[in-house]
Amino acid sequence: MEGATIRMKAVLMHGERGGEGTYRFDLPAEVAAETPVRIMRAFMEHAETRAALGHIDYEINAALKNREHDITTVIGEFVFAPDNRQPFACFISPEG
pLDDT, tens digit only, all 96 positions of the chain: 568 999 999 999 987 666 788 999 999 999 999 999 999 999 999 988 887 767 889 999 999 999 999 999 999 999 988 898 999 999 999 997
Q: How far apart are CA 11 and CA 95, in angstroms?
A: 11
Q: Which domain holds residue 21?
A: 5-94
DSSP character at residue 63: E
What pLDDT does 1 receive?
52
9 φψ region: left (φ > 0), alpha (ψ -120 to 50), beta (else): beta
Count CB neighbours of 83 within 10 A. 5
Look at residue 20 in the predicted model and tell me its pLDDT.
Answer: 85
pLDDT attached to residue 18: 64
Could you give the count of Cα atoms lying within 13 Å of 3 in the half-sphere of its Cβ?
A: 0
Q: What local confidence, expressed as pLDDT, does residue 81 receive?
A: 87
Sequence length of the chain is: 96
Identify whether the C-beta of residue 95 lies closer than 8 Å to the C-beta of residue 9: yes
The pLDDT of residue 91: 98
Q: How many domains does the chain have?
A: 1
CA dihedral 63, 57, 23, 66 (to 10 degrees): -10
In this prediction the pTM is 0.88
